[in-house]
Structure 1
Amino acid sequence: MLSLIGLFLSIIVLSRILLYNRYFPVRGIACSSMPDQPAEGIMVLDLRAYNESYKNPVPGARNIPVAYLHRYYKEIQHNNIHIIASDKVQRNFGIRILKQKGFQIKGCTIANINA
């Protein structure tokens, strides 16, 4: 009985962590429309999937889908980043990964406004 309660509590804690990383907004990051020209020293990072970014490319943006961030974050050459995401879940998850890796997120743009 005690192990069943422990298992139940473990499931609740793990699901809460997973839900938090994806669905709770990250504070302090302003979302706006894509700037015409990013400020000096800020890299534009496109977190959308390759097939989405191919259909609607952003000139000058580096495309690393959010699923590949853990593997390719070392290819990001600037510390200050403006991200482009396709929806709010992708934005939240991508910002949290990048912050864990030590990057400063200066702003974000959601490419699909209806999301």
Structure 2
Amino acid sequence: MILLISLIVGVVYVRYVPVTGVQSTILTDLHTQSIKVVDIREYNQSYNYPIPKSINIPIAYLKRNYQEIGSKKVHVIASDHLEKNMGIRLLRKRGFKVMSYTIINGNGKRQQKSA
């Protein structure tokens, strides 16, 4: 019973508890010379609304293809908060320093920060 409860708490934490220490940033404010932009949105979203000079590795493929990123300082582009939380935690686990993130919804617009 304790094992099952701890498993459920772990899954909820990884997906829904906000990541600390990472700021939301507008893409135009980035210094892309020193930071790699990693787009973890699905291929169909990133194809319809591409981000120039970004590396597109969907969240489902991030665990096995993170070596393509190269640089250790990254900016994450996600489609929602769940994707952002999971992606940032996975990248941190692999040794990357996630400097900032941007959430872009399904119509290509930047999502506003919630109060």
Interval containing the TM-score (normalised by the shorter chain):
0.7 to 0.9
Describe the shift of the 1:97–1:67 C-alpha distance in structure 2 as closer, same or farther (beyond 3 A).
Answer: same
1:15 and 2:8 aligned:
yes
Amino acid corresponding to residue 14 of structure 1 in structure 2: L
- Which residue of 2 is the match for residue 53 of structure 1? 46
Amino acid corresponding to residue 25 of structure 1 in structure 2: P
Query: What RMSD in Å do the two structures reach over aligned CA positions?
Result: 1.6
Q: Tell me the distance in 2 between the aligned counterparts of 1:87 and 1:24.
A: 13
Q: Tell me the distance in 2 between the aligned counterparts of 1:83 and 1:35.
A: 14
Describe the shift of the 1:96–1:74 C-alpha distance in structure 2 as closer, same or farther (beyond 3 A).
Answer: same
Identical aligned residues as a percent = 41
Amino acid corresponding to residue 16 of structure 1 in structure 2: V
TM-score by length of 2: 0.88
1:68 and 2:43 aligned:
no
Kindly state the Cα deviation for residue 38 of structure 1 after the two structures are TM-superposed. Answer: 2.9
1:35 and 2:28 aligned:
yes
1:83 and 2:87 aligned:
no
Q: Out of 79, 86, 103, which is 1:93 matched to?
A: 86
Q: Tell me the distance in 2 between the aligned counterparts of 1:54 and 1:101.
A: 26
Amino acid corresponding to residue 27 of structure 1 in structure 2: T
Task: Indicate the larger mover: 29-38 or 61-70.
Answer: 29-38
- Which residue of 1 is the match for residue 103 of structure 2? 110
Question: Where does structure 1 lack aligned partners over 5 or more consecutive residues?
Answer: 1-7
Corresponding residue SS for 2:86: helix
- Considering only CA atoms, is the larger Rg found in Structure 1 or Structure 2? 1
Deviations 1:16-41 (A, max 9, x none): 00110010011000012222553422
TM-score by length of 1: 0.88
